[in-house]
Amino acid sequence: MALETDVFVVGGGPAGLAVAIAARNRGFSVTVADIAQPPIDKACAEGIMPDGLAALRKLGVNIPLDAASPFRGIRFSDGESAVQARFAQGPGLGTRRTKLHEILIDKAAAAGIDMHWGARVTGLAPDGVTMNGINVRCRWLVGADGQNSRVRCWSGLDSARTPPSTRFGFRRHYRVVPWSEFVEVYWTKHGQLYVTPVGPEEVCVAFLSRNPKLRLEDAFAAFPQIYARLQSADLVTREQGTVSTTRALRSVYRGSTVLVGEASGSVDAITGDGLSMAFQQAHALAEAFLNDDLAQYQYAHRRIERLPRMMANLMLLLDRNHWLRARSLRAVEASPTLFARMLAVHTGELPLFRIGVEATLSFGWRLIRA
């Protein structure tokens, strides 16, 4: 084991491995440590948005289609109205978290990254960290240790811009040929049911809600047509749950310690943007290492999270306000072009100001009349 490295990454999830690969691609020596054994699974809706896919490709990571399923866009439905739109910049990709993890590990190994699994990082040490009781010196310490980041806490970066809030997510996999080329989002009074194609014969079904007691069965009750499709399909995984936190940090670095992925703040999972943000942050951070300027990363981090935060706020408003959601869905159903433009803004293809005055006014008018 190297006792000295340029970059030490705590957490070998998607964010940690992406940073490791990006930094190694720029010539730095990199060590990654994760407390878990691969392949690491996590309750997630498992869709990678087109901008996230582009960031992955830039890392040199390609996901083969035998282990994934492209999706062409997003479909919203609340049982009364439905609207769908395609991504302007090509498809996104659904793939199992375990598969994504294997692919990232293979890429990291090929790049010569020193990886330690089942390795617990227990604290900061002079010029580095303590891993399994051994001090490792590093030039930069990266906290990619997820939602409950210890590195964030140890380095005093826990201070948030607004109080964090949480929702709860549960997911299962079913063996069934995906029936739609869209990620389907079904809005219920209690949350959102997501269906993501993740393979030629597999879908991931996830439910996000404010109520920790609700499970997928509760969402199926509102959408019997989905239940009918899944009833006869084999259940591939048992229900797994986790927390989806909204957290915005004041700062994502201090000295030579820096945060990435969910450790660095997160938006509600409703956007499906978490992985995309992490992969984009990975590039920005490696670039900042090159320039020896973590302030540059902090600036890029704010830019990357701006749009997902705005979209999350908008969607959570619709989650809370059933009247507004029903009207909004009716309004965009009547104007699918506007929904396509909103999706293009969401995926960063269209600047917000280009959504158009005419389209906004038309939406406002339909909202009033819906």
Ligand X SMILES: Cc1cc2nc3c(=O)[nH]c(=O)nc-3n(C[C@H](O)[C@H](O)[C@H](O)COP(=O)(O)OP(=O)(O)OC[C@H]3O[C@@H](n4cnc5c(N)ncnc54)[C@H](O)[C@@H]3O)c2cc1C
Bridge partners, residue 186, by sequence = 77, 193
Q: Does 33 bind ligand X (CB under 6 A)?
A: yes
Structure tokens at 3: 């006792």
Structure tokens at 192: 């959102």
Q: Does 191 bind ligand X (CB under 6 A)?
A: no
At closest approach, how far in Å is the CB of 97 from ligand X?
Answer: 8
The residues in 275-294 that bind ligand X, with binding defined as CB under 6 A, are 275-276, 278
- Of 340, 257, 248, give the one whose Cα is nearest residue 301: 248
Structure tokens at 136: 């490792």
At closest approach, how far in Å is the CB of 11 from ligand X?
Answer: 3
Q: Which of 19, 44, 136, 195 binds ligand X (CB under 6 A)?
A: 44
Task: Kindly indicate which of the ranges 20-28, 35-43, 303-311, 338-346 contains the residues binding ligand X, using the contact rule CB under 6 A.
Answer: 35-43
At closest approach, how far in Å is the CB of 235 from ligand X?
Answer: 18
The residues in 168-187 that bind ligand X, with binding defined as CB under 6 A, are 169
The DSSP symbol for 242 reads E
- Give 188 or 331: the residue with its C-beta nearer to ligand X: 188
The residues in 199-238 that bind ligand X, with binding defined as CB under 6 A, are 206, 208
Q: Does 265 bind ligand X (CB under 6 A)?
A: no
30-34 and 114-117 strand pairing: parallel
- Give 124 or 367: the residue with its C-beta nearer to ligand X: 124
Task: Kindly indicate which of the ranges 43-51, 102-110, 297-305, 330-338 contains the residues binding ligand X, using the contact rule CB under 6 A.
Answer: 43-51
CA distances for 227 relative to 192, 198, 201, 232, angstroms: 15, 18, 17, 9
At closest approach, how far in Å is the CB of 264 from ligand X?
Answer: 8
Q: Does 24 bind ligand X (CB under 6 A)?
A: no
CA distances for 346 relative to 32, 198, 304, 306, 349, angstroms: 32, 21, 12, 11, 8
Sheet harboring 73-77: ordered strands across? Answer: 82-86, 73-77, 182-188, 191-199, 202-209, 165-175, 234-246
Query: Measured between alpha carbons, how far is 65 from 362 in angstroms, rounded to an integer?
Result: 40
The residues in 119-178 that bind ligand X, with binding defined as CB under 6 A, are 120-121, 144-146, 150, 169
At closest approach, how far in Å is the CB of 50 from ligand X?
Answer: 11
Q: Which residues bind ligand X (CB under 6 A)?
A: 10-16, 33-36, 40, 42-48, 120-121, 144-146, 150, 169, 206, 208, 242, 244, 261-263, 269, 272-276, 278
